[in-house]
Amino acid sequence: SPFPPAPWRAMVRGNAKANAQEKRAKKEAAKNKGGSQKKEQQKALKFTCPVCKQQMPQVKLLLVHWDSKHDKVKLEPEEIKEARVMAMAK
Protein backbone atom coordinates (compact mmCIF):
# COMPACT_ATOMS: atom_id res chain seq x y z
CA SER A 1 0.00 0.00 0.00
CA PRO A 2 1.20 3.51 -0.67
CA PHE A 3 0.67 4.58 2.91
CA PRO A 4 3.14 3.74 5.67
CA PRO A 5 1.77 1.32 8.27
CA ALA A 6 -0.15 3.14 10.93
CA PRO A 7 0.60 2.24 14.54
CA TRP A 8 -2.99 1.19 15.11
CA ARG A 9 -2.81 -1.20 12.11
CA ALA A 10 0.36 -2.94 13.23
CA MET A 11 0.03 -6.45 14.79
CA VAL A 12 -3.74 -6.58 14.45
CA ARG A 13 -3.60 -10.23 13.36
CA GLY A 14 -0.51 -11.07 15.40
CA ASN A 15 -2.33 -11.34 18.73
CA ALA A 16 -5.19 -13.35 17.26
CA LYS A 17 -2.70 -15.67 15.59
CA ALA A 18 -0.86 -16.24 18.86
CA ASN A 19 -4.14 -16.92 20.66
CA ALA A 20 -5.22 -19.36 17.95
CA GLN A 21 -1.90 -21.22 18.13
CA GLU A 22 -2.12 -21.46 21.92
CA LYS A 23 -5.70 -22.73 21.74
CA ARG A 24 -4.75 -25.30 19.09
CA ALA A 25 -1.77 -26.46 21.16
CA LYS A 26 -3.99 -26.99 24.20
CA LYS A 27 -6.51 -28.93 22.09
CA GLU A 28 -3.77 -31.16 20.63
CA ALA A 29 -2.27 -31.79 24.07
CA ALA A 30 -5.66 -32.83 25.43
CA LYS A 31 -6.25 -35.11 22.45
CA ASN A 32 -2.86 -36.82 22.67
CA LYS A 33 -2.93 -37.15 26.44
CA GLY A 34 -5.11 -40.26 26.40
CA GLY A 35 -2.81 -42.58 24.54
CA SER A 36 -3.43 -46.30 24.35
CA GLN A 37 -5.70 -48.16 26.74
CA LYS A 38 -4.14 -51.58 26.21
CA LYS A 39 -2.30 -51.59 29.55
CA GLU A 40 -5.44 -50.61 31.42
CA GLN A 41 -7.39 -53.33 29.63
CA GLN A 42 -4.80 -55.95 30.59
CA LYS A 43 -5.06 -54.91 34.24
CA ALA A 44 -8.85 -55.38 34.12
CA LEU A 45 -8.61 -59.00 32.91
CA LYS A 46 -8.54 -60.74 36.27
CA PHE A 47 -10.05 -64.15 35.56
CA THR A 48 -8.72 -66.84 33.22
CA CYS A 49 -10.52 -69.86 31.85
CA PRO A 50 -8.62 -72.98 32.98
CA VAL A 51 -9.29 -74.83 29.72
CA CYS A 52 -8.71 -72.29 26.91
CA LYS A 53 -6.86 -69.61 28.92
CA GLN A 54 -9.16 -66.83 27.69
CA GLN A 55 -9.15 -63.87 30.09
CA MET A 56 -12.24 -62.08 31.39
CA PRO A 57 -12.78 -59.01 33.57
CA GLN A 58 -15.68 -60.41 35.64
CA VAL A 59 -16.59 -63.65 37.37
CA LYS A 60 -20.02 -63.72 35.79
CA LEU A 61 -18.51 -63.53 32.32
CA LEU A 62 -16.20 -66.41 33.16
CA LEU A 63 -19.16 -68.53 34.25
CA VAL A 64 -21.16 -67.65 31.13
CA HIS A 65 -18.13 -68.52 29.02
CA TRP A 66 -17.64 -71.80 30.84
CA ASP A 67 -21.27 -72.83 30.49
CA SER A 68 -21.44 -72.00 26.79
CA LYS A 69 -18.02 -73.09 25.53
CA HIS A 70 -16.99 -75.95 27.83
CA ASP A 71 -20.32 -77.59 28.64
CA LYS A 72 -19.02 -81.02 27.62
CA VAL A 73 -16.19 -81.05 30.17
CA LYS A 74 -17.17 -83.61 32.81
CA LEU A 75 -15.25 -82.33 35.84
CA GLU A 76 -15.35 -78.66 36.79
CA PRO A 77 -11.91 -77.34 37.73
CA GLU A 78 -11.39 -75.72 41.12
CA GLU A 79 -11.19 -72.27 39.54
CA ILE A 80 -14.73 -72.56 38.21
CA LYS A 81 -16.05 -73.87 41.53
CA GLU A 82 -14.44 -70.92 43.32
CA ALA A 83 -15.89 -68.55 40.71
CA ARG A 84 -19.38 -69.92 41.31
CA VAL A 85 -18.95 -69.37 45.06
CA MET A 86 -17.73 -65.82 44.43
CA ALA A 87 -20.69 -65.11 42.13
CA MET A 88 -23.16 -66.43 44.71
CA ALA A 89 -21.61 -64.25 47.42
CA LYS A 90 -22.22 -61.07 45.43
Tens place of pLDDT per residue across the chain (90 aa): 566 666 555 555 778 888 889 999 988 888 777 667 788 888 888 889 999 999 999 999 999 999 999 988 888 888 888 888 988 887
Q: Determine the pLDDT at residue 65.
A: 93
User: DSSP alpha helices (H): ranges in the chain?
Assistant: 12-33, 38-44, 59-69, 78-89
In DSSP terms, 47 is beta-bridged to 56
Question: The pTM is what?
Answer: 0.54
Position 16 scores a pLDDT of: 83
pLDDT value for 22 = 92
